[in-house]
Structure 1
């Protein structure tokens, strides 16, 4: 077993907070998405590894990029993704952007302000959705903006849910420093068993800003041509909205803020079903509008 394979956390796509290549996605598109996920998962596990040094992590991430580009050793997840990219005539840029985010995780543990955090999301989250859109051949001009807002929201939701764990295990804090200072909070408060009033105010502010991102992504599913992908996006949007409402009132230091299995399935189905219903009614709505005119 290679050192890269040995660094794996054992986490798979079914363990994520949001759907990854779910049953909504057409079967012909699932393998390219899962190949991308497996590559990204391996790189993420390296950047989060508890015992590897920073230099070891950076060297391993460089090796993964070299393998992806065909100039390095034969790393299985990189070769699989490379083959998929060649088959679909896709560029490796989205995977490379994610590697840049994981390198940043190794070297940067604090974020100055919300814009600094969004710049991180530009590399850590937005490329995931962009890749899925490219796999489906969607119109970039019509979809990338809404995608970026949704993916940034998903990333920040994860940061808020895991803020205490990230600090305690990795000394990594994604809560912007200016927001902490404005509310009189400190990173050390993340080590407490419950959020102080000052820290709670920071978390609520970031949840509110996440809600604003989700407002910008609300039309995303309607911009997507592929109905099955639109349903997946509808499911993700609804899950994100539900979790964000929870984060506006819950304390992630002392309460479980992840969706339970039952709530996850019900919320995802409601989101996907809403998209499907709107698509089915759209021709009828247009016909009625024409009759009225």
Structure 2
């Protein structure tokens, strides 16, 4: 359900149409580089935010050049950013991509630098709308399929995948000082951060994680019709992505929600099963009520 370093981003897979692979790689390069600024290394927060602000300035440059030609003098692109933004500018112009999703990604990465906790589900979903949803939206624009209904279903899938990744990575995120489980849900289920720190897989923890797993599953189910609506290889890829997310959720359940001892992951042999599931995937998955 992920490719390489950046989660939930199927990069230039063999199922992608050949004429779109360069564009997807250009988008991925931008997203991964910005994500690395927020997450990798030991730079202080102010340095990370300043580096991300430079990315924002380059988006402004692309907008001025493609949307408002002549609005501002042409300036030399910083040499260290040219490998990222020169091809990205060409892809944006060639495919007439909106810049707003790129800006939302950047705002999410900046938030990662300073925000380590989320008070409630609304705050977490807002973060996912900026950190995950832009990826699917940009791909739909590349496919010339960015209708309102498709965008809504894509957002559901991307947010569902992001939540799935959070639940499988609770222990990893804790070591980074982050807790993505909403604070209100921790309190409602009687789970403390000390329980996370000590890897306590108590009945309260299992109830909490069952709640979160169902929340992610409901989103994947609600967006699943998009995988049948998109034609050809694009639809096949999305079916595999959805089935991969659902299978990770099953793996979390199967281990009794103990994501502390081992990270639930897909094995190579499971992809054959997922391919069969994708082949038989109905136009709509069973209704799943999202927890409030």
After TM superposition, the score normalised by the length of structure 1 is 0.83
Name the counterpart of 2:107. 100
Q: How does 1:28-43 map to 2 (within 5 A)?
A: 28-43=19-34
- Report SS of the residue matched to 1:261: coil
Deviation at 1:267, TM superposition (A): 4.0
Deviation at 1:50, TM superposition (A): 3.9
Which of residues 247, 255, 259 in structure 1 aligns to 2:262?
255
Name the counterpart of 1:290. none
Name the counterpart of 1:269. 275
Name the counterpart of 1:189. 195
| Structural RMSD (CA) | 2.1
- Report SS of the residue matched to 1:258: coil
Instruction: Indicate conservation of the 8 Å contact 2:6/2:32, yes or no.
Output: no
Q: Name the one with the larger helix percent.
A: 1
Q: List structure 1 segments (4+ residues) > 6 angstroms apart after TM superposition.
A: none
| 1:172 maps onto 2:178 in alignment | yes
Which of residues 223, 231, 236 in structure 1 aligns to 2:229?
223
Q: How does 1:71-220 map to 2 (within 5 A)?
A: 73-74=78-79, 75=81, 76-168=83-175, 170-220=176-226
Instruction: Indicate conservation of the 8 Å contact 1:152/1:213, yes or no.
Output: yes
Which of residues 29, 51, 67 in structure 1 aligns to 2:42?
51
Name the counterpart of 2:251. 246
Deviation at 1:193, TM superposition (A): 4.0
Higher mean alpha-carbon deviation, 72-81 vs 110-119, is at 72-81
Q: Residues of 2 paired with 1:81 and 1:274: CA distance?
A: 37
Deviation at 1:271, TM superposition (A): 4.5
Instruction: Indicate conservation of the 8 Å contact 1:67/1:73, yes or no.
Output: no
Unpaired segments ≥5 residues, structure 1: 1-11, 279-293
Unpaired segments ≥5 residues, structure 2: 62-74, 284-292
Deviation at 1:161, TM superposition (A): 1.0
